[in-house]
Copies of this chain bind each other. A is one copy, B any other.
Amino acid sequence: KIKHGIKDVKEFIEKLASRGKVDPLSDNFARYLDENDKLRHLRYEFSIPKARDIVSDGIEALSPEDDSVYFCGNSLGLMPRRTRDLVNQELDVWAASGVVGHFKHKHNRPWISIEDNVVEKMAEIVGAKPIEIAVMNTLTSNLHLLMASFYTPNTKKTRKKILIEPMAFPSDLYAVESQIRFHGLDPAKELIKMVPSEGENFVSLDSILKIIEKEGHTISLVLFSGVHYYTGQFFKMKKITEAAQKKGCIVGFDLSHAVGNVVLKLHKWGIDFAAWCSYKYLNSGPGGIAGIFLHEKHANDFNRPRFAGWWGSDRKSRFQLDQQFKPIPGAGGFQVSNPSVLNVVSLMSSLDIFSKTSMVHLRAKSLVLTGYLEYLLDKQLNGLGFKIITPRDPHQRGCQLSLKFLEENIREKVSKELVSYGIVVDERNDTIRVAPNPMYNNFSEVFRFVKALKIIMGDLGVKV
Of all chain B residues, the one with the shortest Cβ separation from A50 is B96
Kindly list chain B residues whose C-beta atoms are within 8 Å of the C-beta of A289. 340
Kindly list chain B residues whose C-beta atoms are within 8 Å of the C-beta of A49. 95-98, 100
Kindly list chain B residues whose C-beta atoms are within 8 Å of the C-beta of A307. 144, 175, 178-179, 182
Kindly list chain B residues whose C-beta atoms are within 8 Å of the C-beta of A81. 95
A25 within 8 A of B: no
Given A138-B338, A178-B307, A424 contacting B321 (CB threshold 8 A) = no
Pairwise interchain contact A56-B104, C-beta atoms closer than 8 A: yes
Pairwise interchain contact B141-A313, C-beta atoms closer than 8 A: no
Given A99-B424, A309-B174, A323-B173, A337 contacting B287 (CB threshold 8 A) = yes
Pairwise interchain contact B337-A102, C-beta atoms closer than 8 A: no
Which residue from B56, B98, B340 sits with its C-beta under 8 Å from A72?
A: B98
Contact with B along A317-329 (1 / 0, CB 8 A): 0111111010000
Kindly list chain B residues whose C-beta atoms are within 8 Å of the C-beta of A390. none
Pairwise interchain contact B139-A337, C-beta atoms closer than 8 A: yes
Of all chain B residues, the one with the shortest Cβ separation from A106 is B53
Contact with B along A326-366 (1 / 0, CB 8 A): 00000000001111111110100000000000000000000
Instruction: Please classify how large the interface on chain A is, using the bins under 10, 10 to 19, 20 to 34, 35 or more.
Output: 35 or more
A77-127 contacts to B, CB under 8 A, are 78-79, 81, 83-84, 87-88, 90-91, 94-102, 104, 111, 114
The smallest beta-carbon distance between A424 and chain B, in angstroms, is: 6
Pairwise interchain contact A311-B98, C-beta atoms closer than 8 A: no
A14 within 8 A of B: no
Given A87-B87, A95-B79, A307-B182, A170 contacting B321 (CB threshold 8 A) = yes
Q: Which 4 A-B pairs have the closest CB atoms?
A: A138-B337, A140-B309, A171-B310, A47-B95
